[in-house]
Amino acid sequence: MTFGIIGSGSWATALAKMLVDNKHAINWWIRNSDTIKHIQEHGSNPNYLQGATFNTLLLTMSANIKEVVAKSDVLVIAIPSAYAEESLASLTAEDWKDKKVISAIKGLLPEKNILLNYYLQQKFNLPLENYFAVLGPCHAEEVAEEKLSYLTFSGTDIIAASEMASHFTTDYISTIVNHDILGVQYAAVLKNIYALGAGIAHGLNYGDNFLSVYIANAADEMAGFLRKFGVEHITVGEHDGEEDPITHRKTPNYAASVYLGDLLVTCYSLHSRNRAFGKMIGNGKSVQDIKKEMNMVAEGYNASKCIYYINQSVGAAIPIAETVYKILWENVKAADGFKRIEQVLV
């Protein structure tokens, strides 16, 4: 099984490190030829996770995406959702034939308000059974430092998802699998919005006591949205069937790491770009100034708008996410928005 990485940001670099540390030779699409040259010469990405080093003998890098796709059996797509359509534009349905895809995108395609799997299915006829999602809680910076982290691989077929996960399991990466392919992706989208809001609260000088109540309510709000969307196993403490006799793991529910755990770390961690983006909003900076200042994309910004419009048909009660959207997109002052949020917390 040959892996290809599409993207060269921090998360793409972290995933490439996992595969190379497992002795996989990988094909790697990197848009910038200077970045390719630097990695070839120094064994590290000059722009992201410079502490992560690679055995360059295992890397075949190219600025030609069609070449990388053609040489790979499994494509790991790790680019910001806002650039997904542009990055994949030169490809055709024939290029994707018989390929498997692991999405490492934690957002919705903002021009269409859809998950990557729907776009690949509509544009390239990629069947859902060939599509997997990899999610946290896992920050790329801690992967670079080889601190123990957790990844969840989700797919419609648990056995196939387990096979994918096995290639990323290392001494510092523990992998979990589930079959909630849509639920885990929407949870990842929502947690970025809530983390952005947590950053706004921090910038407005709210304390830890408020933040704990805010996150607890965000978790409840997320569960309500997922339930409306048809996601199962929402109730904390309830598990389907017996625990696994070998691993002793219970079947996942909403308390699992991919849902609640990812929400917590994204809201609290100093590595969280969504939290950092939100803190600058809370400090009074404009979205335009923050975009210029940050070297990375905060997925929660576009996601807040996507979810706002998606929810018009879903009909879930998501006042926190809607208020974050209005602060970012409708010029509601951050302090006024959080006064509204204060009123809905229970």
* Predicted local distance difference test score (pLDDT) of residue 246: 62
pLDDT in tens, 217-232: 999 999 999 888 777 6
- H-helix or E-strand spanning residue 104: none
* Predicted local distance difference test score (pLDDT) of residue 180: 87
* Predicted local distance difference test score (pLDDT) of residue 287: 85
Per-residue pLDDT, averaged over 140-167, amounts to 93
- Angstrom CA distances, 297 to 66, 120, 285, stand at 25, 22, 16
Per-residue pLDDT, averaged over 20-30, amounts to 96
* Predicted local distance difference test score (pLDDT) of residue 236: 62
List the single range of 23-37, 219-233, 315-329 with lowest mean pLDDT. 219-233
List the single range of 21-30, 146-155, 265-274, 332-341 with lowest mean pLDDT. 265-274
Owner of token pair 């308000």: 113
pLDDT in tens, 269-292: 888 889 999 999 999 998 888 887
Mean pLDDT of the chain: 91
* Predicted local distance difference test score (pLDDT) of residue 318: 96
List the single range of 36-50, 222-236, 327-341 with lowest mean pLDDT. 222-236
Owner of token pair 């995406």: 65
336's CB contacts (< 8 A; 6+ apart) are: none
* Predicted local distance difference test score (pLDDT) of residue 58: 96
CATH class of residue range 3-179: alpha beta
> What are φ and ψ of residue 333, in 5° steps?
-65, 140
Question: Do 261 and 150 contact (CB within 8 A), yes or no?
Answer: yes
Break the chain into its structural domains and give their ranges: 3-179, 183-344
CATH class of residue range 183-344: mainly alpha
pLDDT in tens, 298-315: 889 999 999 999 999 999
Q: How far apart are CA 54 and CA 9, in angstroms?
A: 15
* Predicted local distance difference test score (pLDDT) of residue 240: 65
Per-residue pLDDT, averaged over 325-334, amounts to 96
Banded pLDDT at 237 (limits 50, 70, 90): low
Where are the alpha helices (H) located in the chain, listed in sequence order?
Answer: 10-21, 33-42, 65-71, 84-88, 93-96, 116-124, 140-144, 158-166, 181-203, 208-228, 262-268, 273-282, 287-293, 299-314, 319-329, 334-344
Q: How far apart are CA 245 and CA 78, in angstroms?
A: 34
Banded pLDDT at 235 (limits 50, 70, 90): low
- If one counts every other C-beta atom within 10 angstroms of the C-beta of residue 24, the result is 15
